[in-house]
Amino acid sequence: MTAKGMTVRKTPGKPTIAIVGAGSLATFLAEALDAAGFTISEIVSRNSPQSHRRARALAGKVGAQAITASTAALDATLLWFCVPDREIRGVARTFADHLIARVLVHQKEIAHFALHSSGALLSRELEPLRKAGVAVASVHPLMTFVAGAKPSVSGVPFAIEGDAAATRVARRIVRDLGGKSFSLQSSRKAAYHAWATLTSPLLLAFLVTLEEAARAAGLQPKDARRMSLPIVRQTLANYSRLGSARSFSGPLIRGDAETVAKHLKVLKKHPGVREVYVALARAALRGLPVKNRVELARLLRG
């Protein structure tokens, strides 16, 4: 069953999948995979009451079994790890031991593929499983996952890196989800994640700074959010349609050093906001069409 209660025909030939984790990302992936016709066999959680509750709720939505690592059947074709970065290698080691035991004791097949969805870490975090004969890859969706939000899968880019066999399977899964996969060199993973962090977490840090600046103008945060959203939305729409340079407006594109000087003076009473303002203004001087560049650069050094 899907999250909306509609029966979905499971497609023969698609890998069965066990999801390791029951947080926001695991929930997003499990529901999206279920809706795309994949069989989710197990939701594997930590051995704690809170994790059990989340796993049971998620398993109920996608027709899976909610279990812990020690009781998992691990009979899925593919294991998908959605756990915190610091836990991936340790959990992979535990699963590798269990899979090897299945072969030695029960003479059963092990999973063929294992994926993790860390944006910062490489597929080699799953090395214990690779040594056990499992093809591994990292598959990171460039999307934000928070409780209370259900982002669309359609068009979401997924960065993929790892073993050839696992990356082929991952690309097919992403395609079936409606996403867009792209290959990522292992040497570029940290830079990729820095970019990804700028797209949402640090964008929110900017928006918090925006609220602080609005407070200096006498507005409450909730009013700042409400009043800022029309221009923020239009800026994003312009950026999407016109690109960055043609979407740029305000005192910097005009070279209005006098106005920028007034901003910097009033923001001395709000050093945190001033620091962000100066950093972003300097970024504008580097990458956007700014007039009176020399005078503005002098002001921003002060």
pLDDT in tens, 190-237: 999 999 999 999 999 999 999 999 999 999 999 999 999 999 999 999
- Give the tens place of pLDDT for each residue, 93-113: 999 998 887 766 555 566 799
- pTM, entire model: 0.88
Domain-wise residue ranges, the chain: 17-185, 201-301
Residue 254 CA to residue 235 CA, distance in Å, equals 18
Residue 222 CA to residue 148 CA, distance in Å, equals 19
Dihedral-angle region of residue 292 (phi above 0 means left; psi in -120 to 50 means alpha; beta otherwise): left
Q: Which residue has the higher pLDDT, 81 or 106?
A: 81
Q: Classify domain 17-185 at the CATH class level.
A: alpha beta
- Give the tens place of pLDDT for each residue, 242-258: 999 999 999 999 999 99
Confidence of residue 10 (pLDDT cuts 50, 70, 90): low
